[in-house]
């Protein structure tokens, strides 16, 4: 028969190491949001370069316009996810900080 035993993770990790699931989730979310924002910005820049090089070709100009629009939408979605994360923290009283 197995008995339940309580384990203190913090004392086993040592004094210099802090383990907090909220910090872990916050850091992963922060890195993910940073990567998403940089990718959206890079896609907008790519669309701008395409537009500049398109000249009078309507097909290339339309493709460049679509790339810029998709970059703006991606940036908006990234901002919405960040705002949703902050709202969840506020309403549920969580201590998950995005750094």
Q: Could you report the per-residue pLDDT of 33-87, keeping only the tens digit for each?
A: 899 999 999 999 999 999 999 988 899 999 999 999 999 999 999 999 888 888 8
Q: Is residue 44 part of a domain?
A: yes
Q: Is residue 53 part of a domain?
A: yes
Residue with the larger pLDDT of the pair 41 and 22: 41
Number of domains in the chain: 1
Could you tell me the residue range of the domain that residue 79 belongs to?
A: 39-99
The answer to whether position 33 is within a domain reads no
Domain membership of residue 88 (yes or no) is yes
- Is there a domain that residue 55 lies in? yes
The set of residues, in sequence order, having a beta carbon less than 8 Å from that of 60 and lying 6+ positions away, is: 50, 53, 54
Which ranges constitute the DSSP H helices of the chain?
A: 9-13, 21-54, 58-92
Stated pTM of the model? 0.67
């Amino acid at each position: 028969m197995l008995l339940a035993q309580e384990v203190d993770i913090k004392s086993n990790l040592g004094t210099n190491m802090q383990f907090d699931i909220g910090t872990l989730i916050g850091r992963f979310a922060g890195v993910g949001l940073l990567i998403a924002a940089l990718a959206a910005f890079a896609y907008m820049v790519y669309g701008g370069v395409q537009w500049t090089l398109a000249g009078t070709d309507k097909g290339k100009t339309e493709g460049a316009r679509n790339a810029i629009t998709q970059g703006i939408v991606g940036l908006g979605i990234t901002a919405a996810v960040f705002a949703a994360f902050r709202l969840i923290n506020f309403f549920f009283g969580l201590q998950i900080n995005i750094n």
